[in-house]
Copies of this chain bind each other. A is one copy, B any other.
């Protein structure tokens, strides 16, 4: 079963910026009624369609397929609920662990989140100095929720 185990953290300062380069992401969601996530994503010049099941703890089933860029653009423009998520993702290799730092733009400007994908839930993780605090359990930070209730709307952060 393809399963994703992720931990998510808020980022402080700019020290992380010198550690990797960024790629522009544009993504949106087809809203569902049963908690399944249907995501359309443009990553640089590539398109993807991703289906994710409900989370069970910090694990969830994930199915991702490469699709033509023109299909992704048309689905983003006509089938996904606005606002779309716009962000630059920086991929940092820190002592063999891949950290993905997402710097959001548009309606989520000001938010910077770091994600790390683990091979098992109990894996030991050394936190870099630019990590502020963990938000793995806060559903507001799910990208699907940032599309519906963007960071610029939050009263409490």
Contact = CB atoms under 8 A, between A and B. Distances in A.
A74 B49 contact: no
Contacts of A1: 74
Copies in the complex: 2
A51 interface: yes
A78 interface: yes
Contact of A51 (B30, B31, B34, B63): B30
A145 interface: no
Given A49-B51, A65-B67, A67-B63, A31 B30 contact: no
A36 interface: yes
Interface string A10-42: 000000000000000000001111101010000
Contacts of A144: none
B34 A33 contact: no
A75 interface: yes
Q: Give chain A's interface secondary structure class.
A: mixed
A121 interface: no
Given A33-B31, A34-B79, A51-B30, A65 B65 contact: yes
A83 to B, nearest CB: 15
A65 B47 CA distance: 13
Contacts of A75: 51, 63
A38 B33 CA distance: 12
A61 B78 contact: yes
